[in-house]
Structure 1
Amino acid sequence: MQRITVLCVGALKSSWLTEGCSVYLARLPHVVVREIPASRSKDPHKQVEDESKRLFEVLRKERGVVWVLDERGKGLSSQALAKALGALRDRGVSLTLVIGGAYGLSDAVRERADRLIALSAMTLPHELCRLLLLEQLFRSETLLRGTGYHH
């Protein structure tokens, strides 16, 4: 089974998001969410810098592929995401998906990415991105297995 790590800045603060993420994580035993602490700085640039340093500490140890969620990334259909995940799975490659904090990610984190992807052309709260990403990972899994979740 392919290991997928979702690396997130900050903890979820809303119970409805926590509950939604828990539902999908229960259906995706090979997916792990790892949270790094959000910066406490009041300065947005300092927040991005602090959080990016923390992300790099984790990413340095990752041996697999790294995809970063970013508004500058390429949008994928659910089918295209499933196909890309299936190709990684078939090669036995682990995947780390990175979700930045409230003010995004540094250029250095983007440059570390093997791929930049966007969940939407719209700007979304980073906490909501986690839930949407987990749903899309579940949808991809059902597409790859050929079960009836995706219409």
Structure 2
Amino acid sequence: MVPDESKTEIGLRRPHRMKTILLMVGKTHSRMFESAINDYAKRIAHYMPFSTIVVPEPKDTKNLSENQQKVREAELILKELQPQDVVVLLDEHGRQFRSTEYATWLISKQQTARRLVFIIGGPYGFSTSIYERATEKISLSRMTFSHQMVRLIFVEQLYRACTIIKGEPYHHE
């Protein structure tokens, strides 16, 4: 019997080539994090189209309230989004997954989405307009991490999900 090439290792239909994007406010400041993030981004690209977009942090924030800063960031974020994008915020109040659950969730998004955009906001989170534009929210942990570290944790988990989907030995359970 010939295996069904349209199925993944975890049994769902093989999706079309969805573009996955990680959109971040501000550049990665640590060379160590930047190197590791780039390494995982290259690995992910072997499994799916993947890219990162960095929107600049607003200038002259000393005279801005937290809300004004979030509004400025939102303007830059919204310029990068397309109307059909599935937008997922990395947010402390979002849904939490085990890695295998996240892989299954990712496959379900690949069934319907053309562009899946994950967003890591600035230091004060997201403005109301970004929450309104979002399709979903995901939390990487109940613990708090620096925005720099969240970037690395996210790309590692995305890579891990790709290997789970393919049935590769990176993830041990």
- TM-score where L is the length of structure 2: 0.82
The separation in 2 between residues aligned to 1:14 and 1:7, in whole angstroms, is 17
Match of 1:16 in 2: 32
- Offset of residue 79 of structure 1: 1.1
Residue correspondences, number: 150
Alignment check: 8 A CA contact 1:88 1:94 kept: no
Match of 1:47 in 2: 69
The separation in 2 between residues aligned to 1:45 and 1:16, in whole angstroms, is 31
- In the TM superposition, 1:2-151 aligns within 5 A as 2-29=18-45, 30-40=49-59, 41-42=61-62, 43=64, 44-59=66-81, 61-91=82-112, 93-151=114-172
- Offset of residue 73 of structure 1: 0.9
The separation in 1 between residues aligned to 2:79 and 2:101, in whole angstroms, is 30
Give 4+ residue runs of structure 1 displaced > 4 Å after superposition: none
Gaps of 5+ in 1: none
Larger Rg: 2
Gaps of 5+ in 2: 1-16
Deviations 1:39-90 (A, max 9, x none): 121233322111011111222x242311111111111111111111111223
% identity of equivalent residues: 31
Deviations 1:25-50 (A, max 9, x none): 11112110000001121233322111
Could you tell me which amino acid in structure 1 is paired with residue 42 of structure 2?
A
Could you tell me which amino acid in structure 2 is paired with residue 11 of structure 1?
K
